[in-house]
Amino acid sequence: MNQLERTLAIIKPDSFAGGHAGEILAMIEAAGFRILGMRMTRLSKAQAQGFYDVHREKPFFAGLVEFMTEGPVVVMALERENAIRAWRDLMGATNPANAADGTIRKKFGTAIDRNAVHGSDAPDTAAYELGFFFSGSDLA
């Protein structure tokens, strides 16, 4: 069943530094997403730790926090039918080497830990992640 959903998307520092933000935005719009909110920001260490807290005990946590604070990111609230699944399909597999042709991670990701973009993986995650970066009035 098709359902209008919202999801969080982040253009990560590697994509921003590589000059790929515009092309990624064009891919998002071409895939039928409506951008409800968008801003460029630079995450502090505390913000990155808070956002990725679910991974705190994993061995890649410190490297992930360091990577996400090394430069600007673009955070977006996206909306369309089945947005979470559609955005994950457009992103491609977490490891760019395993991502399908035509996906963002295949085009712009260089490694599993430098994979160009982030996206929420479920409705409850999307609600939390959207609330981390946007207030309800931002997305009215």
pLDDT of 1 reads 65
- Please, which pLDDT band fits residue 2 given cuts at 50, 70 and 90? confident
Catalytic residue among 109, 118, 126, 130: 118
Q: Are 92 and 105 in contact (CB under 8 A)?
A: yes
Residue in the structure block whose two tokens are 């207030």: 135
Beta carbons of 103 and 91 less than 8 angstroms apart: yes
Four-way CATH pick for 4-134: 3.30.70.141, 1.10.287.370, 3.30.70.890, 3.40.190.10: 3.30.70.141
Q: Which residue has the tokens 């891919």?
A: 27
In whole angstroms, give the CA distance from residue 24 to residue 52: 22
More confident residue, 140 or 66: 66
Measure CA of the first residue to CA of the last residue in the chain; give whole Å.
24
Angle at 118 between CA 113 and CA 120, to 5 degrees: 130
Mean pLDDT, rounded, of the chain: 96
Provide the CB-side half-sphere exposure for 25 (13 A, CA): 16
For residue 6, give both structure tokens: 């919202």
pLDDT digits (tens, 9 = 90+) for 90-136: 999 999 999 999 999 999 999 999 999 999 999 999 999 999 999 98
pLDDT tens digits for 25-68? 999 999 999 999 999 999 999 999 999 999 999 999 999 999 99
Establish whether 55 is a catalytic residue: no
Q: Tell me, what's the pLDDT at 137?
A: 81
DSSP state of 55: G
